[in-house]
Amino acid sequence: MTLVVVITVMSAVFLVMGLAALRLQKLYQLQSERIYALQNQLSALCEGATGTDERILRFEQTLNKLRDHQHAIDLTANSSQPSYDHAIRLARKGAGIEQLIDNCNLSDEEAHLISRLHGARDNQPGVH
């Protein structure tokens, strides 16, 4: 009888240990799946962050190029922009169209217009 009790107790212990092992196996499997899912999410976030960093870098490079280009345009515009005030003063003093074009960086049409509007009255034909 003692042998039967020992076998029964041992069977119960093995059964409990077996059930515990199955439960631990399920828990291990569940934890492994969660870890895998979190690794995938982390990888996606890292890839997104890397892509965002690259896009920000490209954006900053483009912005710097645009700033440089705008600065160059501003410099060019300031240095080559016709000086209408100066051209008007010259026209009032009797400067000719060629002088307005050369000195004030005006086009032929601009020089003619300023000469007509602001030129000395005695230099204009048909005006008495």
CB 116 within 8 A of CB 98: no
- Rounded CA-CA distance 72/62 in Å is 15
Indicate the SS3 state at residue 113: helix
Please state whether the predicted TM-score (pTM) of the whole model is above 0.85: no
- pLDDT tens track, the chain, 128 positions: 899 999 999 999 999 999 999 999 999 999 999 999 999 999 989 888 888 888 899 999 999 999 988 888 777 666 655 678 888 999 999 999 999 888 888 889 999 999 999 987 654 454 43
CB 81 within 8 A of CB 105: yes
Helix (H) or strand (E) holding 110: helix 108-118
